[in-house]
C-alpha cells in the first residue's frame, strides 16, 4: 500500500478537489469522524458543513502555516476492499498516526485503475497546537506494513515502488556520485512518466534538479545529435560537469528518447491516455489573483509542477505542466489555447488591480458575478478558461468562495474579539 501525505493551507481547496470527483461520479464519501453531519446531495451544503466541522480547530490554530492534511491510501490494484473495510482502514491509519481524535472526512476514488481513499483532516488539535510529524514517513511505512497484514493486502509491488521513491527526489550535488544519482532518476522516470517532446522531457527532469540538453555536432563528416545530463540547483543553475547519455544507457540518448516519445504520442492520439489536470490548472489560475508564485504553490499543493520558459526580457514563451499524480507531462498548448504561454504572460503582467469579492450587500446573490475590478481582459479570459475547462461542473465559482471568505472572516473576528478580552 502506497501512502501520500500532503499539507496545505486551504481547507476549501482540498474539499473542492474531492467534491469535484464526487460530482463526476468517480468518488464517494464513505465515512467521517467528528463531522457535524453526514450530508449527501447538495454539493455546496456538503462543503459548508464539512468546513464548519473544522472551524474550532482552525480558529484555535496558533502558528501552523499549513494546518490541512490531505492523505491518500492506495492499495494494490489487485486488492479489493469494501467501503466498510476502506472506512476501517482509514480509522486504523489515522489512529496509528496520531490523528485519531481529529475531525476527518473519507472519500473513495474510483477514477483510476487503483481504487483508493483520500482523507481530509487537520494537523492542529483543538487547543491550536500542531500534532508532531516527527519521523512521519518512517512511521507511516511501518503503519502501512501492519495494515497490509491486518487487511491481507499485497505489498511486494508496492515495496518496489517505495524503493524507487528515493530516486524520484531531487538530485543533490553535495552528496557526490553524480553519475549514479542521474542514472537512478532517469531509470525511475523512464517507464513511469509520459511525455511527447524533448521539451516536456527536459521540463519534467528539471523538477528533480537535472538538466537534459541536446548537443549537435559532426563526426567524420556525419552530423549527429546527442544528449548530456547535469545536476542543477533549485534555480536551474548547472553545478556538475555534463554526463554523456552513452555513459548512462542507450535508452537515455537521442534515439532512445525519440522511440519513447513516438510511442507515447501514438498512444495519446489513440486516446489511451488524456489530460486529467485541466480543472486543477484552471482552479489555480483563478485562485492565484495574478500572482505567479501563488499559482505555483497552488499546483504544488495538488501534486503538480509548472515550468515556465522565458526570453531575455522575461516574457513567458513556453509553459509545461508535470502531473506527478498520473505521471504525465504536457506543454500548455497541448491542453488548449486557454493554457498557452500567452495566457500566463497576460495573467501575471497585465492586471493592475486585484480581483475582489463583491460584498453580499451589493448583490443579494453571493454566488453571482463574484469577480469585479478594473482588469476586464484578465477577468474575461478567466471566465472563458473556467467555462472551457470545467464544462458542466456545477460549482458556480472556484478559488475564493463566499463560504470560505465568510469562514475566514469569522476566524478573524473571533481572534480579534479574544484579544480585546485578553484571551490568548
Here the cell at position 102 is: 481529529
Co-location of 255 and 217 in the same domain: yes
Instruction: Give the torsion sign (CA, 180, 183, 188, 193).
Output: positive
Co-location of 299 and 396 in the same domain: yes
Co-location of 158 and 188 in the same domain: no
Looking at 137, 164, 191, the residue that finishes a domain is: 164
In a domain, 420, yes or no: no
Cα–Cα distance measured from residue 173 to residue 302, given in angstroms and rounded to the nearest whole number:
27
Co-location of 41 and 83 in the same domain: yes
Contact 351, 398 (CB under 8 A): no
What is the total residue count of the chain? Answer: 424
Domain count, the chain: 3
In a domain, 116, yes or no: yes
The alpha carbon of residue 146 and the mean position of all alpha carbons in its chain are separated, in whole angstroms, by 28
In a domain, 285, yes or no: yes
CATH number for the domain that contains residue 140: 3.30.930.30
- pLDDT of 293 reads 92
Cα–Cα distance measured from residue 149 to residue 155, given in angstroms and rounded to the nearest whole number:
9
In a domain, 207, yes or no: yes
Co-location of 356 and 326 in the same domain: yes
Contact 324, 39 (CB under 8 A): no
Here the cell at position 229 is: 545530463
Co-location of 53 and 99 in the same domain: yes
Between the alpha carbon of residue 358 and those of residues 71, 291, 367, the distances in Å are: 34, 20, 10
pTM: predicted TM-score of the whole model, two decimal places: 0.49
Co-location of 308 and 341 in the same domain: yes
What interhelical angle do 278-287 and 292-300 show, nearest 10? 140
The alpha carbon of residue 19 and the mean position of all alpha carbons in its chain are separated, in whole angstroms, by 16
Co-location of 35 and 112 in the same domain: yes
In a domain, 134, yes or no: yes
Cα–Cα distance measured from residue 231 to residue 237, given in angstroms and rounded to the nearest whole number:
8
- pLDDT of 275 reads 86
Looking at 225, 244, 269, the residue that finishes a domain is: 269
DSSP for 360-409?
TTT-S-TTSS-EESS-HHHHHHHHHHHHHHHTT---S--SS-HHHHHHHH
Here the cell at position 137 is: 514517513
Co-location of 6 and 135 in the same domain: yes
Contact 158, 2 (CB under 8 A): yes
Q: What's the average pLDDT block by block, 10 residues per block, for the chain (424 residues)?
A: 87 88 87 77 76 91 91 85 94 95 93 80 93 88 91 65 56 88 87 90 94 85 86 93 91 92 92 86 88 91 90 90 91 90 87 41 36 40 48 37 61 61 56
In a domain, 210, yes or no: yes
The residues near 325 (Cβ < 8 Å, ≥ 6 apart) are 302, 303, 304
- pLDDT of 74 reads 85
DSSP letter (8 states) at residue 161? H
- pLDDT of 407 reads 64
In a domain, 402, yes or no: yes
Co-location of 32 and 52 in the same domain: yes
Q: Where in the sequence is the domain holding 208, given as residue range(s)?
A: 171-269
- Between the two ends of the chain, the Cα-to-Cα distance in Å is 42
Contact 212, 200 (CB under 8 A): no
Strands 356-357, 104-109: pairing kind: unpaired
Co-location of 18 and 148 in the same domain: yes
The residues near 90 (Cβ < 8 Å, ≥ 6 apart) are 31, 73, 104, 106, 117, 119
Co-location of 315 and 263 in the same domain: no
In a domain, 222, yes or no: yes
The residues near 160 (Cβ < 8 Å, ≥ 6 apart) are none
- pLDDT of 111 reads 66
Interior CA angle at 112 toward 108 and 116, to 5°?
A: 30
Looking at 164, 186, 202, the residue that finishes a domain is: 164
Amino acid at each position: 500500500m502506497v501512502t501520500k501525505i500532503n499539507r496545505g493551507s486551504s481547507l476549501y481547496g482540498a474539499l473542492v478537489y474531492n467534491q469535484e470527483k464526487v460530482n463526476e461520479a468517480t468518488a464517494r464519501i464513505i465515512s467521517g469522524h467528528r463531522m457535524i453531519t453526514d450530508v449527501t446531495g447538495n454539493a455546496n451544503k456538503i462543503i459548508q458543513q464539512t468546513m464548519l466541522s473544522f472551524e474550532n480547530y482552525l480558529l484555535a490554530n496558533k502558528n501552523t502555516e499549513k494546518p490541512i492534511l490531505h492523505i491518500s491510501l492506495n492499495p494494490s490494484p489487485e486488492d479489493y476492499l469494501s467501503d466498510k473495510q476502506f472506512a476501517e482502514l482509514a480509522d486504523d491509519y489515522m489512529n496509528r498516526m496520531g490523528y485519531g481524535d481529529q475531525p476527518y472526512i473519507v472519500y473513495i476514488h474510483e477514477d483510476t485503475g487503483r481504487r483508493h481513499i483520500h482523507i481530509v483532516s487537520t494537523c492542529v488539535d483543538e487547543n491550536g497546537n500542531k500534532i508532531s510529524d516527527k519521523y512521519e514517513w518512517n512511521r507511516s511505512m511501518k503503519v502501512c506494513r501492519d495494515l497490509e497484514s491486518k487487511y491481507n493486502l499485497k505489498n511486494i509491488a508496492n515495496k518496489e515502488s517505495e524503493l524507487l521513491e528515493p530516486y524520484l527526489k531531487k538530485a543533490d550535488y553535495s552528496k557526490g556520485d553524480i553519475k549514479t544519482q542521474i542514472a537512478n532518476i532517469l531509470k525511475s522516470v523512464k517507464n513511469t512518466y509520459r511525455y511527447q517532446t524533448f521539451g516536456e522531457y527536459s521540463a519534467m527532469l528539471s523538477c528533480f534538479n537535472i538538466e537534459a540538453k541536446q548537443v549537435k555536432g559532426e563526426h567524420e563528416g556525419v552530423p549527429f545529435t546527442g544528449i548530456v545530463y547535469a545536476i542543477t540547483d533549485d534555480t536551474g543553475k548547472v553545478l556538475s560537469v555534463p554526463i554523456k547519455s552513452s555513459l548512462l544507457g542507450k535508452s537515455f540518448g537521442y534515439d532512445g528518447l525519440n522511440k519513447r516519445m513516438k510511442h507515447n504520442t501514438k498512444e495519446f492520439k489513440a486516446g489511451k491516455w488524456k489530460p486529467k489536470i485541466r480543472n486543477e490548472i484552471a482552479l489555480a489560475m483563478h485562485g492565484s489573483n495574478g500572482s505567479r508564485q501563488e499559482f505555483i504553490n497552488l499546483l504544488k499543493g495538488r501534486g503538480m509542477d509548472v515550468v515556465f520558459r522565458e526570453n531575455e526580457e522575461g516574457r513567458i514563451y513556453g509553459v509545461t505542466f508535470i502531473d506527478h499524480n498520473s505521471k504525465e507531462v504536457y506543454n500548455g498548448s497541448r491542453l488548449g489555447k486557454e493554457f498557452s504561454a500567452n495566457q500566463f504572460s497576460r495573467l501575471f503582467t497585465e492586471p493592475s488591480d486585484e480581483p475582489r469579492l463583491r460584498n453580499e450587500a451589493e448583490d443579494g446573490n453571493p454566488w453571482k458575478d463574484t469577480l469585479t475590478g478594473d482588469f476586464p481582459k484578465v477577468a474575461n479570459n478567466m471566465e472563458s478558461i473556467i467555462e472551457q475547462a470545467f464544462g458542466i461542473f456545477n460549482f458556480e465559482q472556484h478559488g475564493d468562495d463566499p463560504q470560505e471568505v465568510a469562514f475566514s472572516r469569522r476566524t478573524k473576528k473571533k481572534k480579534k474579539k479574544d484579544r480585546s478580552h485578553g484571551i490568548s
